[in-house]
Amino acid sequence: MKINGTPYRSVWRPTEDPQSIRIFDQTRFPWEIDILELRDVHAVMHVIRSMQVRGAPLIGAVAAYGLVFALQNDPSNSALHKAAEELISTRPTAINLRWAIERLVTHLQNIPPEERVSAGYQEADAICDEDVKVNEAIGEYGLELIREIWERKGKQGRVNLLTHCNAGWIATVDWGTALAPIYMAHDAGIPVHVWVDETRPRDQGSLLTAWELGSHGVPHTVIVDNAGGHFMQTGDVDMVIVGTDRVTAQGDVANKIGTYLKALAAKDNNIPFWVALPSSTIDWRVKDGVKDIPIEERSSNEVLFMHGITDSGDISRVRIAPEHSPAANPAFDVTPARLVTGLITERGRCDASEAGLKSLFPEE
């Protein structure tokens, strides 16, 4: 995707300095385009924890490079496994992180230590290249879905979509998952409009999704998290589409806190609720998402304070609760498969069920 006309990926290895990676500091969007240079594993763990990089597929890709950085001083098996465990612990819900690290460990442990760094870079680059292709395929399958809605509406008006959090190109290496079909529909001339949930407490919707859509010229409206149900009742939502951080073998979906309530409201209003994901987001080891997916609990300060930009252009933080009130901050929730209309993957669409997933991924 492009920023001010220049094409970018969300993580890249510059040709002039290939022992490092570059990422955007996502805590500065949309006010500043700040590029960070990373060259050691501790810096990688820090940007993942602080959410300067975020979004399940991007976390996995960046962590893969982190593991390679860790091997630069010590490529031994023990260093490999220690760094792998430390990286995996940085964010517990998004399974792409574990997937990327396990893929690298499996690949590297069969390679002589002195060749591990260069082989690791190649594998991490491959994870990034594959992510771009996979998201492009998700975009094409999702585009068909939006086209079907457009045709069902007799090509009248516009297709109104609602999304939660940010599952766009900056949450992946490129394209995004839930936003890829929307970009493609817009580019194909289908008049789409997106209701963008603000997504408290980190505001990934109002800060990131609105910025992404606006940069691409996609019509959108930011709404507070509690408004979605209302717009579903007034007939202003044709489809909900979200990304995910982990899908279980039976099709339960972990995603940003608040997703479950959107799915409940969609069910009550007979509105299709679709989830877009690369297969690296499927956790085949887990079935019951509500019981078995660990939910990341983040700092209560994310709830107790808001940050934004003042009229004079300063980024500023304000407390929005009494000084001694505690806050709880689960970062994700689980939407049971029964509330999910279907899953959009790089191999096509399927039911959110064990049989549906097996039909697309028989090898699992």
Question: At closest approach, how far in Å is the CB of 166 from ligand MRU?
Answer: 6
Amino acid at 109: Q
d(CA 24, CA 123): 22
Burial class (CB in 10 A: 0-12, 13-18, 19+), 323: exposed
Q: Which residue, 303 or 331, has its beta carbon nearer to ligand MRU? A: 331
Q: Which residue, 146 or 171, has its beta carbon nearer to ligand MRU? A: 171
| Packed helices 95-108 and 56-71: angle between N→C axes, nearest 10 degrees | 30
Which has the closest alpha carbon to 24: 8, 10, 4?
10
Q: Which residue, 176 or 356, has its beta carbon nearer to ligand MRU? A: 176
Q: Do 103 and 86 contact (CB within 8 A), yes or no? A: no
d(CA 81, CA 129): 25
Which residue number is nearest to ligand MRU in terms of Cβ?
243
Binder of ligand MRU out of 244, 248, 335, 345 (CB under 6 A): 244
Question: At closest approach, how far in Å is the CB of 51 from ligand MRU?
Answer: 6
Q: Binding-site residues for substrate, please?
A: 54-56, 91, 204, 255-256
Binder of ligand MRU out of 71, 105, 146, 167 (CB under 6 A): 167
Examine residue 171 and tell whether it contacts ligand MRU (CB under 6 A): yes
Looking up tokens 């630069």, which residue turns up? Answer: 72
| Phi, psi (rounded to 5 degrees) for 267 | -60, -45
Q: Which residue, 71 or 255, has its beta carbon nearer to ligand MRU? A: 255
Looking up tokens 């859509």, which residue turns up? Answer: 213
Could you tell me which stretch among 67-75, 139-147, 168-176, 322-330 binds ligand MRU (CB under 6 A)? 168-176
Catalytic amino acids?
245
Could you tell me which stretch among 16-24, 101-109, 114-122, 237-245 binds ligand MRU (CB under 6 A)? 237-245
User: Which distant-in-sequence residues (6+ apart) come within 8 Å of 32 by Cβ?
Assistant: 25
Residues 323-352 that bind ligand MRU (CB under 6 A): 331
Each residue 50-69 as x (binds ligand MRU by CB under 6 A) or -, in order, gives ----xxxx------------
Largest pairwise CA distance in the chain: 63
Q: Which residue, 11 or 165, has its beta carbon nearer to ligand MRU? A: 165
Binder of ligand MRU out of 27, 90, 160, 177 (CB under 6 A): 177
The DSSP call for residue 295 is: P
Q: Do 307 and 232 contact (CB within 8 A), yes or no? A: no
d(CA 300, CA 196): 24
Q: Do 159 and 192 contact (CB within 8 A), yes or no? A: yes
Q: Which two tokens stand for residue 138?
A: 């998700």
Question: At closest approach, how far in Å is the CB of 265 from ligand MRU?
Answer: 18
Residues 88-127 that bind ligand MRU (CB under 6 A): 94
Examine residue 256 and tell whether it contacts ligand MRU (CB under 6 A): yes
Question: At closest approach, how far in Å is the CB of 212 from ligand MRU?
Answer: 11
Could you tell me which stretch among 9-17, 169-177, 310-318, 333-341 binds ligand MRU (CB under 6 A)? 169-177
Examine residue 186 and tell whether it contacts ligand MRU (CB under 6 A): no
Q: Which residue, 56 or 293, has its beta carbon nearer to ligand MRU? A: 56
d(CA 300, CA 108): 39
User: Which distant-in-sequence residues (6+ apart) come within 8 Å of 300 by Cβ?
Assistant: 326, 327, 328, 329
Contact residues for ligand MRU (CB under 6 A)?
A: 54-57, 94, 165, 167, 171-172, 176-177, 204, 243-245, 255-256, 331
